[in-house]
Amino acid sequence: MNKKKKSVLKKVLLLISIMVLTLGGYYFYRNYQILKQVYQYEDQVEQAVEKENIPQYKNLVLSVIFTETKGENDDPMQSSESKSGYPNQIEESQESIEQGVAFLATAIKKAEAEGCDLWTAVQAYNFGLDYIDYVAENGKTNRLELAEQYSKDTLSPELGNSQRTKYRYLSFQSIMHNGGYLYHNGGNFFYADIVKANENKIKQTSFLF
């Protein structure tokens, strides 16, 4: 390789390195900002998990907040629908967290009673409690393929999407799995995996807050 080609290659590699570092820096900065928003609810979460007798799941609840709203909403756990069946009915974080933790605790207890794993309960936070019965009849362990099947064949048609139409949904998990889509009215079948990834972020960065 002549000197000119080596020089061009070095410049290209340098440019790529700069881009990777810039994107990496932005990713960590963005996640730090989100985590700050989420941790503002830590005291409220601690009180709620103690009240519902699931104190061991504090980080999980913080991860749900991370997943649902990134801590940027008056209803940080998006609890309106589990309380009233309608969105945007809760406007106070304390009420949102108390309702969200109560629903999650119910899901966890039901999953345990039916011999299902924790992530079945977490996915049920998005799908509804009937999903736990579905998993109980299909291996007792939440799996992405099982959640997708439920979304496609049960939840989506029940909520009006009889044609099982899809829409674009871009995340790391969705792009790797199916190129990035969900079913209309079918919830988010990647939900448990996303919460799990966000819980790892919570655990790995707790010392910062």
CB atoms within 10 A of CB 48: 25
pTM: 0.87
Q: Give the CATH architecture of domain 3-208.
A: Orthogonal Bundle (1.10)
So what's the pLDDT on residue 17?
67
CB atoms within 10 A of CB 24: 10
Report whether 148 contacts 174 (CB < 8 A): no
Taking alpha carbons only, the member of 131, 124, 112, 106 closest to residue 53 is: 106
So what's the pLDDT on residue 41?
97
- Residue listed under structure tokens 């700050």: 36
| Positions in the chain short of pLDDT 50 | none
So what's the pLDDT on residue 24?
55
So what's the pLDDT on residue 4?
61
Q: What is the residue extent of each domain of the chain?
A: 3-208
Partners of 168 in the beta sheet? 181
pLDDT tens string 82-125 = 887 777 889 899 999 999 999 999 999 999 999 999 999 999 99
Which residues, 6 or more positions from 12, have their beta carbon under 8 angstroms from its beta carbon?
Answer: none
So what's the pLDDT on residue 11?
63
Which residues, 6 or more positions from 141, have their beta carbon under 8 angstroms from its beta carbon?
Answer: 116, 117, 119, 120, 135
Residue 3 tokens read as: 């000197």
So what's the pLDDT on residue 9?
64
CA distance 71 to 201: 14
Residue 55 tokens read as: 């104190």
